Amino acid sequence: MAKVLVWVEHDNMSVKDATLAAITAATQLGEAHLLVAGAGCAGVAEAAAKIAGVSKVHLAEDAVYANALPENVAPLITSLMCDFDAFVAPATSTGKNIAPRVAALLDVMQVSDILSVEGPKTFTRPIYAGNVIATVESSDAKLVITVRGTAFSKAEVTGGVAVIDMVASAHDTGLSSFVGSEIAKSERPELTSAKVIVSGGRALKDPETFQATIFPLADKLGAAIGASRAAVDAGYVPNDYQVGQTGKIVAPEVYIAVGISGAIQHLAGMKDSKTIIAINKDEEAPIFQVADIGLVADLFSAIPALTDKI
Amino acid sequence: MKALVCVKRVIDYNVKPRVKSDGTGVDLANVKMSINPFDEIAVEEAVRLKEKGVVSEIVAISVGPAKAQETLRTALAMGADRAILVQVNDNVDVEPLAVAKIVKAITDEEQPGLIVTGKQAIDDDSNQVGQMVAALLGCPQGTFANEVTVEGEFVVVKREIDGGIETVKLKLPAVITADLRLNEPRYASLPNIMKAKSKPLATKTPDHYGVDIATRLKMIKVGEPPARAAGIKVADVDALASALKELGVA
Ligand SMILES: Cc1cc2nc3c(=O)[nH]c(=O)nc-3n(C[C@H](O)[C@H](O)[C@H](O)COP(=O)(O)OP(=O)(O)OC[C@H]3O[C@@H](n4cnc5c(N)ncnc54)[C@H](O)[C@@H]3O)c2cc1C
């Protein structure tokens, strides 16, 4: 059976959800081993060992891995890959940063953002902003894959009894250093794992109007908040709210698009949502072509009224 | 310091792609093609660095069909100084790994301090070339860049990540991949478009760089994603509120 090494995305505290979908994809390919690399992340490795279906956890703890700098992490992964047939990472900003670097070092053509495993080396993946689905078969000896989180169920976080193996090597290329980060802390659910998302577009005018209009509705629904590129570019909300081809890919139970036209780049990020609701004053807006429930209305009266009624 | 900018000719972002009826690919005949929007941002960034006096010369490169000359002329009109087209036959797709190997070979010849490219091409959505080039060169990478500042021997890059923004400091030479908010690309002025026509554009082949472009991923088929069933329109806010309650979310 193929042996698969899965990149565990974490913040040195807990395993990020996107990893669980990657593990499911990995188990469809073979025996799933996890790599936890970081500093002070033994707790993460313990949690990872309990995930159902995991054979072994490899723990590489060193200060040089603290911020998942690809320059240091990629050589760590390639050094482990002599024992593995495939490397699998979630298609998160970290996974997308690291996996191609690993692939090039292994002389492998990566399969990005897979939607399904069709065979030992055959996968489907979205191209052209998800307007086209390609089925591709790799001819490389080893596989390097990133996994779309919304396309696979999440592995159970309990039930596993994997052993934890320490990896001794520390690769410090000295090429890069971490300076800092601005990570917004929010009480709201995370965009990529929320059950309900309320997203706002350019129509929301400015940051204050976006907040005054979208936030109360999201709060009532316990929803995460998303946005179109236009809303992010205009500075209504930070970049990490962007949903779309080049932002976050989401598939909640309910996605509510408010004042968003429905450009293909936006649809690419949300059209696999279970139920799509659109509120737009233009009945011709393309968003209505994918919406299950549409309301043609001015959002500035409709959204406050809706917030009151629920 | 020299900068290398990699650009790709792709379907225009406003065009909805159509799958060929035999499922072998996407129909690009008579479809509007443009410079990949992220690569346009990459060119703009290089030009701004040149205007600041950080970069002395900008070499634009593209791996693609003869028509990718137009893409390179766009980059030249925006402010690149010269261009290299690594030409392949029409309808030949060159995979990111092979593109990265070609860029590596050109880098060995040109010795740039910065290699700038878009974070992904909007046709194959692979998001790989920049990272692969960095790997092959053994140099650092600043992907999904939101802000780029050259400081002596280093470049400081603010990156758009899932949780917000991250800042890294990279030793030059380095690879940068542009995200949407790095800058707003300029429109090339008519005089600059005219001037671009006489800027040098060299044409090479993958063979010249000793790179094998045989594909590693076999395209078995392409198809449309499952279509969503037609929805309904509700009359008013009351009806929408009831619908939300029925869905069990309100
Ligand atoms: C390379 C590239 C990548 C991109 N990636 C993404 C991406 O990841 N995500 C993304 O979202 N976009 C992306 N885009 C941008 C995309 O093409 C669109 O420009 C963008 O999605 C438009 O945002 P919008 O719908 O908010 O704005 P608009 O298209 O301007 O739509 C605003 C909508 O609001 C409606 N409206 C206005 N006033 C009201 C009112 N009072 N009440 C109700 N409705 C109202 C209008 O009818 C209109 O439909 C990308 C573009 C490119 C070129």
The residue of A77, A177, A266 whose CB has the most chain B CBs within 10 angstroms, and thus the best one to mutate to test that interface, is A177
Q: How far is CA B112 from CA A122, A250, B102, in A?
A: 38, 39, 14
A99/A16 same-domain check = yes
Q: Count the Cβ atoms, other than its own, within 10 Å of residue A289.
A: 16
A147/A195 same-domain check = no
Q: How far is CA B150 from the centre of its chain?
A: 21
Closest of A171, A111, A99 to residue A138, by C-alpha: A111
A228/A262 same-domain check = yes
- Identity at A228, one-letter amino acid code: S
Q: Residue A147 phi/psi, 5° resolution?
A: -120, 130
Task: Calculate the average pLDDT of chain B.
Answer: 96
Whether residue A113 has pLDDT greater than 90: yes
Task: Note the pLDDT tens digit of each residue in B9-55.
Answer: 999 999 999 999 999 999 998 999 999 999 999 999 999 999 999 99
Residues facing A276 on adjacent strands: A255
What pLDDT is recorded for position A267? 96
Task: Note the pLDDT tens digit of each residue in B131-153.
Answer: 999 999 999 999 999 999 999 99
Q: Is there a domain that residue A111 lies in?
A: yes
A143/A271 same-domain check = no
Tell me how far the alpha carbon of residue B75 lies from the centroid of ligand 1, in angstroms.
27
Whether residue B207 has pLDDT greater than 90: yes
What pLDDT is recorded for position B32? 97
> Which CATH number does the domain housing residue A93 bear?
3.40.50.620
Q: Which of A74, A126, A180 sits opposite B135 (nearest CB)?
A: A74
The stretch A238-250 carries a mean pLDDT of 95
What pLDDT is recorded for position A217? 97
Kindly determine whether residue A295 and residue B233, on different chains, have CB atoms separated by under 8 Å: yes
Q: Does the Cβ of A258 fall within 6 Å of ligand 1?
A: no
Q: Is there a domain that residue A179 lies in?
A: no
Which of A166, A200, A215 is the C-terminal boundary of a domain?
Answer: A166
Q: Does the global pTM surpass 0.90?
A: yes
Q: Does the Cβ of A205 fall within 6 Å of ligand 1?
A: no
A130/A48 same-domain check = yes
What pLDDT is recorded for position B250? 83
What pLDDT is recorded for position B230? 83
Q: Is there a domain that residue A223 lies in?
A: yes
Q: Is there a domain that residue A210 lies in?
A: yes
The residue of A191, A225, A239, A273 whose CB has the most chain B CBs within 10 angstroms, and thus the best one to mutate to test that interface, is A239
Kindly determine whether residue A97 and residue B100, on different chains, have CB atoms separated by under 8 Å: no
Whether residue B91 has pLDDT greater than 90: no
Q: Is there a domain that residue A175 lies in?
A: no
A66/A138 same-domain check = yes
Q: Is there a domain that residue A181 lies in?
A: no
Look at the alpha carbons of B14, B18, B19, B25 in this order and tell me if their dihedral is positive or negative: negative
Q: Which of A96, A140, A238 sits opposite B216 (nearest CB)?
A: A140
A96/A30 same-domain check = yes
The stretch B66-94 carries a mean pLDDT of 97
Closest of B248, B233, B240, B246 to residue A308, by C-alpha: B240
Q: How far is CA B113 from the centre of its chain?
A: 19
Cβ proximity of A76 and A37 under 8 Å:
yes
What pLDDT is recorded for position A184? 80
> Which CATH number does the domain housing residue A262 bear?
3.40.50.1220
A152/A216 same-domain check = no
Cβ proximity of A147 and A37 under 8 Å:
no
Alpha helices, H only, chain A? 17-29, 42-49, 70-80, 93-105, 207-221, 229-233, 264-270, 287-290, 299-309
Q: Give every strand in the sheet of A143-147, ordered side by side.
A: A111-114, A143-147, A86-90, A3-7, A31-38, A54-61, A163-166
Domain holding A286, by residue range, is 191-309
A17/A86 same-domain check = yes
Which H or E run includes B69?
A: helix B68-78
User: What CA–CA distance (Å, rounded) separates B44 from B47?
Assistant: 5
What confidence tier does B227 reach under pLDDT thresholds 50, 70, 90?
Answer: confident
Q: Is there a domain that residue A172 lies in?
A: no
User: What CA–CA distance (Å, rounded) separates B130 from B140?
Assistant: 10
The tokens 């990156």 sit on which residue? Answer: B159
Q: Is there a domain that residue A183 lies in?
A: no
A116/A162 same-domain check = yes
ipTM reported for the complex, 2 dp? 0.96
Q: Which of A112, A248, A275 sits opposite B247 (nearest CB)?
A: A275
Task: Note the pLDDT tens digit of each residue in A183-209.
Answer: 888 889 999 999 999 999 999 999 999
A64/A109 same-domain check = yes
Whether residue B229 has pLDDT greater than 90: no
A101/A213 same-domain check = no
**Domains along chain B?**
2-247 (3.40.50.620)
Q: Which residues make Cβ contacts (< 8 Å) with residue A290, sequence separation at least 6?
A: A262, A267, A271, A276, A278, B228, B231
Tally the domains of chain A.
Answer: 2
Can you give the C-alpha Rg of chain B in angstroms? 21
A231 → chain B, closest CA residue? B181
User: What CA–CA distance (Å, rounded) separates B215 from B231?
Assistant: 41
Q: Does the Cβ of A203 fall within 6 Å of ligand 1?
A: yes
Whether residue A1 has pLDDT greater than 90: no
Kindly determine whether residue B122 and residue A310, on different chains, have CB atoms separated by under 8 Å: no
Percent of chain B with pLDDT over 90: 95
